[in-house]
């Protein structure tokens, strides 16, 4: 319904932010006499700062649909993007090795930050005006008073979609309870009310298949320039968000949206995995494996690598490779690692805390068993047990497992003690499956690095 507005919002703010950033940059250069404007270093700063902001904004989901109606989230993500931008600029200055004026850099940061704040506050004021102003708000009525219509009205209230709900139209015999919004009349009275009260849209939750007169109401509404919209009730999919595709105008409903079901998307993700993993294996693991392997051999008995069957894409088992962090034991394939687990070696504690034990899985990525980002692979025994606890558990296996994942960077990693912990983790996995993009993968990779440096209490 709001896809066009969301696209306008996305491009408007991306363009506005870039304009503000560049305006600050050139204003500072013009005002500071000590700057040598002929230096290409300042042109490089200008180009990199634009790219750095775009990356920071998209990595922190600044221009997403949820921000269109949620200012608090918009402001929060903008702040995260601004801090990410500052870090990227400081890294650029360090490696570019040019003596930029400190006043130039600080003035850019402060000026851009203030203007970002002003644009967000302006958006807040504009949003308030839009939501309160009748010029922008749509007046709607709902045909039918039932569970479906109540859910629809609740959505309008909770999401502030610039919709003013006037009330319901329902035959009195069908009304069994009091309503927050008034019952304005019987079903067939809705058209006359809509015409006399300048209603913009009518939402019908009454099935036209069993109530043929609804089609007549729709025709009269359109004749009078009132939009008439049908709200179907799919009884088999109550409380589920459905994804709709069309095959030759035939609607196909799916329980989940799967961007990676598209072959082009899978190729993009696979190419990214191969390039990224190849760089890690050649530049890092080529010397790190011998070093860590020697330390493991010197500090405990057993092999360097711990290789275990895990559940992969489409629930096909694969051999997952890790640096061994536990003493050799008979419970490795059935028992989770717990806090202060006496099976963990002293070196293993360090490897697990820093996530170094997971690095050999880049070999799994090159082999095609895993992806860099995806749901974490579970032991076969746990897959069997967890699938009995949660109906949606197996959905996570529609994509390749990952070295890191959305659940892990959002605080859901480590030992699973309660069913609620498992449920939240699976919700995160399914959300990733339904919302995948390369930008999301990059964001999760950056968050993984950040969480590793900061330290995670669940890393043990």
> pTM for this one?
0.56
Residue 3 confidence (pLDDT): 47
In the predicted structure, residue 160 carries a pLDDT above the cut 70: no
Residue 9 confidence (pLDDT): 65
More confident residue, 359 or 33: 359
Residue 2 confidence (pLDDT): 42
Closest CA to 446 of 26, 61, 20: 61
Burial (CB < 10 A; 0-12, 13-18, 19+), residue 234, is: exposed
Residue 156 confidence (pLDDT): 81
Helix (H), strand (E) at residue 7: helix 3-31
Task: Give me the residue spans of the domains in the chain.
Answer: 3-132, 138-233, 263-454
Give tens-digit pLDDT for 225-248: 888 998 887 665 555 666 777 766
Helix, strand or coil, per DSSP, at residue 320: strand
* Residue 432's pLDDT band (cuts 50, 70, 90): very high
Give tens-digit pLDDT for 187-207: 889 999 999 998 989 999 888
Burial (CB < 10 A; 0-12, 13-18, 19+), residue 377, is: buried
In the predicted structure, residue 16 carries a pLDDT above the cut 90: no
Residue 254 confidence (pLDDT): 78
Average pLDDT over residues 97-102: 82
More confident residue, 177 or 270: 270
- Listing DSSP states for 368-398 in one string gives TS-EEESPPPPBHHHHHHHHHH-TTGGGGGG
In the predicted structure, residue 273 carries a pLDDT above the cut 90: yes
In the predicted structure, residue 367 carries a pLDDT above the cut 90: yes
Q: How far apart are CA 241 and CA 222, in angstroms?
A: 29
Over pLDDT 70: what percentage of the chain?
86
Average pLDDT over residues 312-328: 91
* Residue 275's pLDDT band (cuts 50, 70, 90): very high
Q: What is the CA radius of gyration of the chain?
A: 28
In the predicted structure, residue 139 carries a pLDDT above the cut 60: yes
Q: How far apart are CA 34 and CA 292, in angstroms?
A: 51
CATH class of the domain comprising 138-233: alpha beta
Residue 114 confidence (pLDDT): 92
């Amino acid at each position: 319904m709001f896809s066009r507005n969301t696209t306008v919002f996305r491009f408007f703010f991306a363009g506005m932010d870039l304009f503000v950033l560049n305006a600050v940059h050139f204003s500072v250069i013009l005002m500071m006499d000590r700057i040598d404007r002929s230096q290409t270093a300042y042109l490089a700063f200008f180009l990199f700062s634009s790219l750095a902001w775009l990356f920071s904004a998209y990595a922190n989901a600044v221009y997403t649909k949820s921000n269109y109606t949620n200012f608090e989230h918009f402001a929060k993500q903008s702040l995260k993007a601004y801090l990410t931008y500052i870090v990227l600029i400081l890294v650029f200055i360090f490696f570019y090795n040019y003596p930029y004026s400190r006043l130039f850099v600080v003035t850019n940061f402060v000026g851009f930050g203030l203007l970002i704040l002003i644009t967000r506050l302006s958006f807040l004021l504009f949003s308030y005006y839009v939501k309160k102003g009748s010029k922008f708000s749509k007046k709607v009525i709902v045909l039918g008073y039932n569970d479906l219509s109540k859910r629809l009205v609740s959505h309008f209230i909770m999401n502030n979609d610039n919709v003013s709900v006037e009330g319901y139209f329902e035959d009195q015999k069908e009304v069994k309870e009091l309503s927050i919004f008034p019952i304005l009349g019987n079903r067939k009275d809705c058209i006359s009310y809509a015409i006399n009260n300048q209603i913009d849209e009518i939402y019908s939750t009454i099935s036209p298949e069993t109530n043929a007169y609804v089609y007549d109401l729709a025709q009269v509404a359109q004749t009078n320039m009132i939009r008439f919209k049908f709200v179907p009730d799919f009884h088999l999919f109550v409380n589920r968000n459905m994804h709709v595709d069309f095959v030759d105008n035939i609607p196909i409903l799916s329980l989940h949206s799967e961007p990676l079901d598209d072959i082009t998307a899978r190729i993009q993700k696979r190419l990214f995995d191969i390039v990224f993993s190849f760089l890690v294996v050649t530049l890092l693991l080529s010397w790190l494996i011998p070093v860590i392997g020697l330390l493991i051999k010197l500090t405990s008995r057993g092999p360097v690598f711990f290789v275990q069957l895990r559940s992969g894409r489409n629930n096909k088992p694969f051999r997952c490779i890790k640096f061994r962090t536990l003493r050799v034991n008979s419970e490795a394939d059935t028992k989770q690692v717990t806090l202060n687990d006496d099976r963990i070696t002293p070196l293993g504690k360090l490897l697990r805390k820093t996530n170094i034990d997971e690095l050999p899985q880049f070999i799994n990525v090159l082999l095609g068993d895993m992806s860099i980002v995806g749901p974490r692979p579970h032991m076969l025994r746990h897959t069997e047990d967890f699938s009995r606890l949660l109906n949606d558990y197996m959905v996570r296996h529609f994509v390749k497992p990952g070295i890191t994942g959305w659940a892990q960077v959002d605080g859901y990693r480590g030992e699973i003690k309660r069913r609620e912990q498992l449920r939240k983790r699976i919700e995160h996995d399914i959300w990733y499956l339904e919302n995948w993009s390369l930008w999301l993968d990059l964001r999760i990779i950056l968050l993984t690095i950040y969480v590793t440096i900061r330290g995670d209490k669940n890393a043990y």
